[in-house]
Structure 1
């Protein structure tokens, strides 16, 4: 597959990821960026690398397989394009709209920014109404002329599970008041919209739990449900990426802070059946958190395009996949009684929206008492409560472990303090002994001075005695000679 060929896509095998050869310099590797395909170009905005937020705008031409940096200009001289991570981006007309994300911006509410794809001018859209709190790791889905925002994590690390709607025609925010049990608060999940009516939320995480559950919000009745996923077992994950093509929702990557998810999943949204499309090897860039996946239409055929991510190493590779067209002649949604029971309300909604493509039991026109829906709702609520209890227990277990660690550290510090106190007492006793010895030495030193004076006196006395003795001896000698003469004269 040569870099100069514009027909690289024609030689791809189905359902297999392939790394594209890239001409020229690549953008810096990153994760938690935002990506959108427009006019056969993959646009990458912002992201994070080594704890630093990025503010660049990159474009990858899917025809000649080359990167280019988009130099954006602002509508106001005082305004600069922010460095941001964990944000969402959608294409609306000839603009890219960026919502949310974490940055050094001190704004308390979600900011809506735009990049004009023709002029490369960027700016801020002034939205009114009930503007949601600033957050990152949320999901944003386009339904007609409205953006549906769910969940995320605010600047104080508070997790959310609220739903907000931005009308792009009036630039007005509204809070959606839903019924039934919503998903547990989370961030770094993924979302998709089916039949312009159903918002699907999959996976994500709290600060201690990774999820693999599916929640569905009926955008007409505003009712949450938690249908049971059919098909392959799926491991919990967050930081994964998803993109929908017709009835199929493709989910790539993610992880649980220990290992990356190796499988690429596809969910048939009309049947809520999930299957593994392909697997990659461990430490593959596609088994990363914070990667992006988009879809591009080339010569009438859809392709998946993945970029970036982090799994111990940041990636800046571009991967493509040619998904195999799915056979539509399959059993319809909720053929399993268990699945139908777990999502009775969603089943009824699907029946109203797409009765020609879904097969359900014919309903009797006569009114009759049927408690199955209420029972199933209670079962769903019970399951949600059990999940919440499990999460609380896990959080409690984690807190108990931290408490035990703190207690252990306290015991060690207490023992060390006791040891230090013992050493201090010993040193104090030693200091007292040294002070006593110094006092004794000082006394001895002062007594030595008087002794030295006495010695000096004794030396002087000794010298005087010796002098007197010498004089006496001399006199005695002289006296002895004179006495003889006188005796001679007298004699």
Structure 2
């Protein structure tokens, strides 16, 4: 491979390991990555149970690694007082987002304890590093969460806190004001999880895929409407993908690419893609098993080189820690128009938006008396009236459609309320039955103990009865012996008196 022109010689949609000139950074997983220009920044991670704090940069032109030496924004006196102060604490399972000329690092697991999530920044121009001052209700400290950029907001979902409690809450950090807020989402939220992936589509929808609990690996897809704050689980228009956690994901031009991951036993060798507007999964390519691209805890990000899009993957763990760089050249694709997801609430919202837009458009039509559309020849006034009538008819149809959609939406909400009510009643009955079952089991245990005691008593009674029989026989034998001894004594006494009388 020609190092100076490697990107133009690659095949489309195939992973290629890049040759690296010079030393490589230490192998790792559960790090964070981001692309700045034509450079990939790698921060932190974990290796052999040890957290890392280094900042490594890979140049996609020279294919060489370099290390960034960070500095705090302390002055000389403060630096002397603090001695050898640690700039960026060793961290893993964190997230990193580029915003302006800064990298923001959110959360993660570290030996330094904190009650709430800490946001660090790295200034790309000065290499200064520090803690961002935020306001509002910050989320609890956690790792294995997801952070997605939606406009000027960072959307934080899920993760695992310091006590290993799994989370499924949603928090928002406004990057303009650095203020935290909590999203009180409606409908059924995803199960608490960590090591999942998330992406934002059309600046409105947060998609969450996969992840795991402490015993279950997920392959489900959930969608949060960031305007209505409603969760939904749309019907996927393809076969289900395998459950996984520790995978990496990146959204590019309406497609969400998922790389790697696994279930602690097997890695996922296929690179899959979700067409976000159609909600259709497909397999882009596959690699051999036990390769770095089938690892857990790897990272993937997108880069643009000479106007073309590339995916860049690094690190991971699949029985051993990796530090290779893989690149995939993507086919140029048109950006598709965002499509509302086909859940009941989203369908109603789509119909409402479409109808409102059509009504506003038709109501603003104002034709002057000398109105003339010139398409090479003037339209007759009668043709204009026909078009106006057609628009009015279309408006009427849209109004009817909107009314039907609103009615259907109300019905669906009633059904959901009924199902929730039934579920609550069944849950109460289940708890009651479970309580009765526990009580009956306790009663059975007590009866079994009493039966065992009675068996022991019966056995003891049988032994006593045997002893009584023996005593009776002994008593009878003793009585016989006493009678015999009495008879002998009487006979002996008569013989002596007779002897005495005869001698006289």
TM-score (norm: length of structure 1): 0.71
1:325 maps onto 2:323 in alignment: no
Residue 146 of structure 1: CA displacement?
1.1
Q: 1:327 to 1:176 in 2, by over 3 A?
A: closer
Aligned equivalent of 1:17: 15
- Secondary structure of the 2:293 match is coil
- Secondary structure of the 2:294 match is coil
Q: 1:74 to 1:351 in 2, by over 3 A?
A: farther
Q: Is the 8 A contact 2:219 2:240 kept in 1?
A: no
Distance 1:304 1:354 in 2: 36
Q: Is the 8 A contact 2:117 2:138 kept in 1?
A: yes
Q: Is the 8 A contact 1:232 1:276 kept in 2?
A: no
1:62 maps onto 2:60 in alignment: yes
Aligned equivalent of 1:439: none
Q: Higher mean Cα deviation, 165-174 or 303-312?
A: 165-174
Q: 1:280 to 1:349 in 2, by over 3 A?
A: farther
- Secondary structure of the 1:161 match is strand
Q: 1:116 to 1:376 in 2, by over 3 A?
A: same
Aligned equivalent of 1:147: 154
Residue 145 of structure 1: CA displacement?
1.4
Q: 1:157 to 1:380 in 2, by over 3 A?
A: farther
Q: 1:376 to 1:294 in 2, by over 3 A?
A: farther
1:39 alignment partner, one of 37, 44, 47: 37
Residue 28 of structure 1: CA displacement?
0.4
Q: Deviations over 1:143-181 (max 9, x none)?
A: 111111000000000000000011111111111111111
- Secondary structure of the 1:367 match is helix
Q: Is the 8 A contact 2:309 2:332 kept in 1?
A: no
1:436-475 → structure 2 map (5 Å cutoff): none
The count of aligned residue pairs is 373
- Secondary structure of the 1:237 match is coil
Residue 102 of structure 1: CA displacement?
0.1
Residue 126 of structure 1: CA displacement?
1.2
Q: Is the 8 A contact 2:308 2:332 kept in 1?
A: no
Residue 196 of structure 1: CA displacement?
0.5
Q: Is the 8 A contact 1:226 1:380 kept in 2?
A: no
Aligned equivalent of 1:27: 25
Q: Is the 8 A contact 1:100 1:110 kept in 2?
A: yes
Aligned equivalent of 1:406: none
Q: Is the 8 A contact 2:348 2:405 kept in 1?
A: no
Distance 1:253 1:41 in 2: 22
Distance 1:349 1:368 in 2: 13
Q: Is the 8 A contact 1:181 1:381 kept in 2?
A: no
- Secondary structure of the 2:403 match is coil
Q: Deviations over 1:119-143 (max 9, x none)?
A: 1110001111101100000000111
Residue 367 of structure 1: CA displacement?
3.1
Distance 1:33 1:325 in 2: 29
Aligned equivalent of 2:305: 298
Q: 1:328 to 1:382 in 2, by over 3 A?
A: farther
- Secondary structure of the 1:231 match is coil
Q: Higher mean Cα deviation, 364-373 or 157-166?
A: 364-373
Q: Is the 8 A contact 2:253 2:333 kept in 1?
A: no
Distance 2:417 2:290 in 1: 37
1:176 maps onto 2:212 in alignment: no
Distance 1:233 1:39 in 2: 36
Q: Is the 8 A contact 2:108 2:143 kept in 1?
A: yes
Residue 323 of structure 1: CA displacement?
1.7
Distance 1:56 1:292 in 2: 16
Q: 1:108 to 1:2 in 2, by over 3 A?
A: same
Q: Deviations over 1:49-94 (max 9, x none)?
A: 0000000000000011000011111123345210000000000110
Aligned equivalent of 1:189: 196
- Secondary structure of the 2:347 match is helix
Residue 373 of structure 1: CA displacement?
4.3
**Greater radius of gyration (CA):** 1
- Secondary structure of the 1:35 match is strand
- Secondary structure of the 1:10 match is helix
Aligned equivalent of 1:162: 169
Aligned equivalent of 2:400: 364
Q: Deviations over 1:215-273 (max 9, x none)?
A: 11111111110102222430011111000112111110100111001110111111111
1:85-484 → structure 2 map (5 Å cutoff): 85-326=92-333, 340=342, 343-349=343-349, 364-365=400-401, 367-368=403-404, 373=409
Residue 348 of structure 1: CA displacement?
3.9
Q: What is the Cα-based RMSD across aligned positions, in Å? A: 2.7
Q: Deviations over 1:259-303 (max 9, x none)?
A: 001110111111111100001111010001100000001111110
- Secondary structure of the 1:8 match is helix
- Secondary structure of the 2:345 match is helix
Distance 1:162 1:48 in 2: 25
